[in-house]
Chains A and B, each alone.
Chain A
C-alpha cells in the first residue's frame, strides 16, 4: 500500500509535477506528494532538499514554476496559488520560522489570522478574546498569561504558541490538512512527545498531518508513511513501519552514515580551569557551580524551563548575574558585557537562530564574519578579498549548501543557516564555546559533521558547554553531563551512559523536585 491509487476515498490531496527554481538553484524538480486522511505523513530530506519550499508553495507564499494540487474534486494550479486558496483547500501551517510577532501579546498572536472574538461591528472583544486565548493555551499546555508579549517567551514556548495558533480550532472545522515544518526542532524531548501525541489524536479524528523533522526516531515513532526528497527530487514514499533507521538515513543521504564521532580522550583534569562558576544565581538559576577545563565538553541536560539557556547567557554576559562569581582563566569577571566576553575568547551560539543568530538579508559572507571584521582590517583598510577567500573555504568546511557566498542568508534553508552561525564561531577557535541546541534543524548527515567539528575543536583545546535536547548527542560527545533542574545542578554523569538512562535520570530528578 505504499503507493495509494489516486482515486482512493482516503486520499486527501495529491500534488503532481511540482517544480521551483531560484535563479540557478533547482529547489524542487517534479516532486509528487500524496496525503491520506487520518494519517501522519513524514516529509524528510537533507538540509536544502526543498521541504520548506514545497510547504511554502502549498501555503501560497511562493509561486511554483509548475505543478498542480488536487483536493477532493478541485484542482488548483500551483503557479498561481494564493494563501486564501490554500486556506480554502483546508491547509493549516506551522512554518519553520514560526511567524510569531514578538511585540504583540501572546493572546494577540493567537488571534492573528481571524481568531479574535469579534463584536457586531467587527471590533475585537478583548475580554472574550483573552478568555478564549487562555483556554487555547491551557489546551496546548502553555503555561503563560495571554497578556505578556510574545518576546518574553522562551524559544520552545514560541514554537508551542505557533503550533497552538495553527491548531486551535481544527476540532470545530471540517477535515483539515495540517502541515508542520520542523515543529519539534526547538522542543525538548518531553514537549516533543506531547506534540506527537496531539498530532496522533488529530490524525485519528480524520485530519491529515504532514510532519517535517530531522529527528529520525520521531519519524519511526509517529509517522504512518514517509515521503523523502533529495536535491529537490522525489525519492520515494514508503510505509514507516517498513523502515529501519539505517534505511531511512540511506534514503535521505543517498548513502550510509558513519556515526564515528565520540567524546575525545578525557580532558586533562589537572589543567587550570578556563571557566569557573561559583554559586551563580539570577533569573531562574538558584545556585550553579561548575568548573570547565580546556578541551573538555560538558553537556547540560534539563527540561523546559530548567534554566539552561539562561545559564549560557549569563556566562556570555548577555544576562545579569545576581549573585555568585564568574571566573574566566583565573580572573573574576564582574558584570561582563558580551563584547568583553568575546574578547576573552568566549563564543555563544544562541538557540533562537532567527531572532538572535542571523543577520537577515545580509550575505552569507557577512553573516559568517559578523563581529570579526577586525581580523581583516590591516593597514587601515578592510581586506574584502581576503575575507571572501576565507569564507569560501569555511563554507566548504562547515558543509554549507549555498550557490554563492553573496546570497542573502535568508535564501538558505534553515539547516544551512544554522551551519553558517556555527561556522562563524568555530572558525575563531574560541577558548570557551557555549552551544545552545547547536544541531537543531540540521539533517542527520550534517549533524555528524557538526559534532565532529565540535569534538575536533575540543581536541584542539576549546572547552565546550553543550546544551541539547538530543540526549543521544549529549551522551555521545560529552565528557560528562550535568543535569540542571529547577535552577540547580542536581546530578553529574560521566561519559558512557546511554541516552535512555540519561532521560530517565532527568525525569526522576524533575519528579523529585516537584
Chain B
C-alpha cells in the first residue's frame, strides 16, 4: 500500500520527464526519422526552444502569485524589433540597444503591474489588452517589415554560437531558470508569492505585502521578456515584427503542463522546462516523420487542456486519497488567478490608501465593472 503510494507519487512527479525520455527514445530508434538523432537537430531544438523556455519562466513567476501575464510574447517581440531597430535605424551601439530593450521590457511589466496590482484590473484582461497595444506599437515602429541590416555582428554570432558544443542560447535559459528556481524556492519572496497565489486575503493578514509582491512579479516578468527579445534578435538574425505573439500560447501551455510534474500542483520552473522540451521534441519528431506543420499548434493547445485537465484529475484524486504532500491543482490555481483580485484587492497594501474604500468587509469586492465580472467566472486562460 505504502510502496504503491510511493510509485504513484513518483509517476506524478516524474511522469512528464519519463514521457520526454520515451519520446526521445522512440524517435531515435524510429527508422522513419533518421534525422532525429543527429547533433544538428538537437542543437536546433535547443536553440529554438531557449527563447520559449525563458518566456515560459517569465510566465510562471506571476502565475505563482495568481496572476497571468499574456503579454510576455508580444513584449519580447517588441523589444527584439526595438533592439534591432535602434542599431539599424538609429545607429546605436550594441550595449545601449540591449539596455534599452530590457528597460522597455521592464516598463511594459510595470504598466501591467500598475494595472493589475494597483488599479485592480483582472490580469487576463489587462495583459491581453496590453498584448494588442504592443502589437500596434511593433507595427508602427517597424512598418511590418523585418529589420535585417545593421544589427551588431556580435549579437548575430551569438545565435548560432556554441560553447562545449552546446548552443550558447541554451546557457541563457539555464541561467535564468536557475535564478528563477532560486527565487521561487529558496527565498522568502518565493514563499510569499506562493502564499499570495494560495489565498491572497490570508497572505495580507499574515503581513505579506500582497500588492507590492504581485507588482514585483509582473515587473520581473516584463524584464525577463525584454531580455528574451534581445536573444530573439540573436536567434533569428533580425528584428522580426511577426514573432512575438506566437509565443503566447506555447509559453502558457508549458507553464500549465509543467505544473503537473516535478512539484505536481504548483507552477514550477523545472516542470515548465520539461514541458517546453517535451512539446518541442514531440513536434520535431512528428514533423520529421512527415506530419503537417499544424501539429505544433495542435500540441500546444492540447498541452494546455491536458495540463489543466490533469490538474483537475490530480486534485480530485488528492482529495480522495490524502495523507501526502498535496498542493493546489492548476485549475484551482487558474481559478485563484482569476479571482485573486476579488478576494483581496492588493491595493490594500499599497502604502497610503486614501481611496475611501472600505477594505475589509468586502464591499469593495463587489463586481463593479466588466473586468471584475470576468474574474468572477472560473474561466482559466
Contact = CB atoms under 8 A, between A and B. Distances in A.
A244 interface: no
Nearest to B350: A337
A339 interface: yes
Contact of B322 (A152, A356, A407): A407
B207 A339 contact: yes
22 contacts: A23-B322, A152-B362, A152-B366, A154-B361, A319-B361, A320-B353, A334-B352, A335-B351, A335-B353, A341-B207, A356-B202, A359-B202, A361-B327, A361-B332, A366-B191, A370-B208, A373-B192, A377-B187, A382-B185, A382-B188, A407-B325, A411-B326
A504 to B, nearest CB: 29
B194 A403 contact: no
A374 B188 contact: yes
Contact of B324 (A152, A360, A406): A406
A407 B318 CA distance: 11
A338 B348 contact: yes
Interface stretch (A39-47, A310-318, A483-491): A310-318
Given A338-B207, A360-B328, A361-B332, 10 more contacts: A103-B339, A103-B342, A310-B361, A320-B356, A335-B351, A338-B208, A343-B207, A370-B208, A381-B186, A404-B323
A382 B265 CA distance: 21
B214 to A, nearest CB: 13
B24 interface: no
A72 interface: no
B199 interface: yes
Nearest to A316: B205
A11 interface: no
A371 B195 CA distance: 8
Nearest to B212: A339
Contacts of B302: none
Interface in A354-394: 355-363, 366, 370-374, 377, 380-382
A401 to B, nearest CB: 14
B140 interface: no
B194 A362 contact: yes
B367 A103 contact: yes
Nearest to A352: B201
A153 B365 CA distance: 11
Contacts of A313: 359-360
A146 to B, nearest CB: 14
A48 to B, nearest CB: 14
Interface residues of A, number: 56
A382 B184 CA distance: 10
Contacts of A142: none
B100 interface: no
A208 B186 CA distance: 54
A356 B205 contact: yes
Contacts of B298: none
B199 A359 contact: yes
Contact of A318 (B191, B360, B376): B360
A320 B347 CA distance: 12
B244 to A, nearest CB: 34
A161 to B, nearest CB: 13
Interface in B335-350: 339, 342-343, 348-350
Given A151-B362, A382-B187, A361 B349 contact: no
A338 B351 contact: no
Contacts of A320: 353-354, 356-359
B352, B357, B362 interface centre (most CB from chain A within 10 Å): B362
B198 interface: yes
A356 B357 CA distance: 19
Contacts of B312: none
Contact of A23 (B208, B324, B351, B376): B324
Contact of A102 (B192, B195, B207, B365): B365
A342 B207 contact: yes
A149 interface: yes
Contacts of A334: 352
B204 A318 contact: yes
Nearest to B321: A23
A25 interface: yes
A21 B372 CA distance: 41
A6 interface: no
Given A152-B362, A339-B349, A381-B186, A361 B205 contact: no
Interface string A95-115: 000000011000000000000
B298 to A, nearest CB: 32
Given A23-B323, A356-B202, A371-B206, A338 B362 contact: no
B328 A361 contact: yes
B265 to A, nearest CB: 7
Interface in A177-236: none
A63 B376 CA distance: 31
B23 interface: no
